[in-house]
Amino acid sequence: MESSGFWRRTPAFTPSKIHVEYSGQAITPDTAIRGLSSQRTPSPEPTSRPLTATSQSPPSDHLSPLSIQSPLSAQSPHKPADPTHEKFHMALGAATIDLALLQKLSWTGIPREYRAITWQLLMGYLPLASTRRAGTLQRKRKEYGDWVRQTFARGEDALDRVLWRQIQVDVPRTSPGSPVFQNPRVQRCLERILYAWAARHPASGYVQGINDLLTPFVYVFLEAECNGDTTALDRADLDAIDDAQMDGVEADSFWSLSKLLDGIQDNYTHAQPGIQRQIVKLKDLVTRVDHTLAAHLQSEGVEFVQFAFRWINCLLMRELRLASIIRMWDTYLAEPNGFAMFHIYVCAAMLLKWSAQLRAMDFQQIMLFLQQPPALQWATEDVELLLSEAYMLKCLYHDAPRHLHKN
């Protein structure tokens, strides 16, 4: 399997100017959140509706190269009227994508109709040269399809029974409130992707939490196959998506998940050392920024590992709505090492946001609050403010590891 070079190749995106107003309510990087306005509304969250149960066999011999073109092919011949859409239209229409420009545009959010291909480009799954894109997509989809067909050809009895059983237990628990991920057809895709990834990565294998990380990719790529018709996706009306399209979604989701996990694989090896290191960094950062809060947590016997382990292991997938996570990942993909380093600043900003409330709580109240923080009802603007606060923490502390350290 190819190892991702994205984390090494990606140049850092740094807004040119920064204005800091650290009042606890508004922290605004001048360039990073320019363009935030009420024009962007929260992405619709899947709602609970009756499912149309369908069955899906393992991917067929042929993975049809659906959506191998830029989404521009589906757009009107006229340039989009919205300035943000026009910028993406121009950037994605180039013969060779300017990665730095695409990262800068994506930091403040990607329009729905451009998100699938933009994520694939930012992940390094698709090449920047448009002439190589179709061939790469066909080759990668065929490679995944061949592996799945060979692996499942002898039936489930030939699989690693312990691994397969754990995946089958976890998949129905994945996004239980979403009709999309309770659809049997989608669940079979999730099972195969997770088994394929674990089998190809024996050093780490499958760890609970990886199933959560798969859902944004599947949702975004399914949305693209529905041509942005979120109402069809919300009611889990997936019958309109044929087997070839579903095979493409499955393969693209597998490779995208692989690219993501290449950058944080230490989080899922034995004893999960990556997560342990990040918890230490989070505690150190919060102590430096809000010593009073850190001292209160310590006095109440609250250990960061008790709440931060899940925040890092699942990348806040269980604390935020899927729509919020998808918006957050737009920025993570635009940041160098966004799912590891930048995520720590997001977790810190989230904890600091509730500093006053937490300092008035005892141990039991703190743990109940942090295990179910009041973030599920956040709108897009709330997520974008959190991202901007995280960006400011990164600017202030990332290159000054001893800054404000107490002796």
pLDDT in tens, 112-138: 999 999 999 999 999 999 999 999 999
Q: What is the pLDDT of residues 241-287, one digit of tens each?
A: 889 999 999 999 999 999 999 999 899 988 899 999 999 999 999 99
C-alpha distances out from residue 104 to 16, 17, 79, 242, Å:
11, 13, 20, 35
Record the tokens describing residue 350, joined without a space: 């989230």
Percent of the chain with pLDDT over 70: 76
CB 335 within 8 A of CB 346: no
82: left (phi over 0), alpha (psi -120 to 50) or beta: beta
Cβ atoms of 194 and 62 closer than 8 Å: no
User: Diameter of the chain by CA atoms?
Assistant: 64
Work out the number of other CB atoms within 10 angstroms of the CB of residue 79: 12
Model confidence at 228, pLDDT cuts 50, 70, 90, reads low
Q: How do residues 51-95 score in pLDDT, each as one tens digit? A: 333 334 444 333 333 344 444 443 333 456 689 999 999 999 999
What is the rounded CA–CA span in Å between residue 22 and residue 24?
6
Q: Residue 166: is its pLDDT beyond 50?
A: yes
Task: Provide mean pLDDT across the span 18-25.
Answer: 40
| 317: alpha, beta or left? (left if phi > 0; alpha if psi -120 to 50) | alpha
**Is the separation of the CB atoms in 355 and 293 below 8 Å?**
yes
- Inter-residue contact 317 to 211 (CB < 8 Å): no
Query: Would you mind telling me the total number of residues written for the chain in this entry?
Result: 407
What confidence score (pLDDT) does residue 28 get? 39
